Amino acid sequence: MLAIARLLHLLLVAVLAGLLVGVALVELALLEVGPSVYTAVQKPKHQVFAPIMPVLNTLVIAAGLLVLLLMTRAPRTLAPGALAFTAAGLACTIALTVTTVLVNVPINAEIISSWSVEHPPADWAQVRDRWNLFHAVRTVLALLAVGCLLVAMLPAPHGRTGTAGGRARGGA
């Protein structure tokens, strides 16, 4: 059960990271367009992602919590550091979700509800740059989460699993 949960968690985080990288690449391309084109692209983009992202982020965090719970019930089967790297990966996904909710989602809501393709706001470039900055932060956090989970899944050196009193158990 633990191995399946860890694999599912890694898969979900990797999907999230890939999605964020893809959006970052689109946003790089959009740096060259004017305000009307930018707005025309952003409105439908945010409408597509609005129902998907909360579900994906919730699944990522729930899977991470489940994995941590299962890991605490089977510490002797884990490689040294696996629990810590898994917790770090989960912390990254929680941080990126907080960033998303506090910064990116309010900007998205503003774009969808009040921006006009014909008359984008005068400060559209500043809003775009703020969104892109925080999108870059959450993309880096997602990639760090994937890295942490990959490290956590590395097998233990021969004979070195579990912990007792902070030391690795097993033969040397």
Q: What confidence tens digit (pLDDT) does each residue in 20-72 have?
A: 999 999 999 999 999 999 999 999 999 899 999 999 999 999 999 999 999 99
pLDDT interval class at 164 (50, 70, 90): very low
Q: ∠ CA 107-98-3 to the nearest 5 degrees?
A: 130
pLDDT interval class at 171 (50, 70, 90): very low
pLDDT interval class at 11 (50, 70, 90): very high
pLDDT interval class at 75 (50, 70, 90): confident
User: Are 41 and 29 contacting, i.e. CB atoms less than 8 angstroms apart?
Assistant: no
Q: How far apart are CA 36 and CA 117, in angstroms?
A: 5
pLDDT > 70: percent of the chain: 91
- CA dihedral sign, ordered 139, 140, 143, 144: negative
pLDDT at residue 166, as a whole number = 45
pLDDT at residue 76, as a whole number = 81
pLDDT by residue (tens digit) across 23-35? 999 999 999 999 9
Measuring CA to CA, which residue among 88, 66, 74, 52 is closest to residue 9? 66
Taking residue 122's Cβ as centre, other Cβ atoms within 10 Å add up to 8
Residue of higher predicted confidence among 153 and 162: 153
pLDDT by residue (tens digit) across 112-144? 999 999 999 999 999 999 999 999 999 999 999
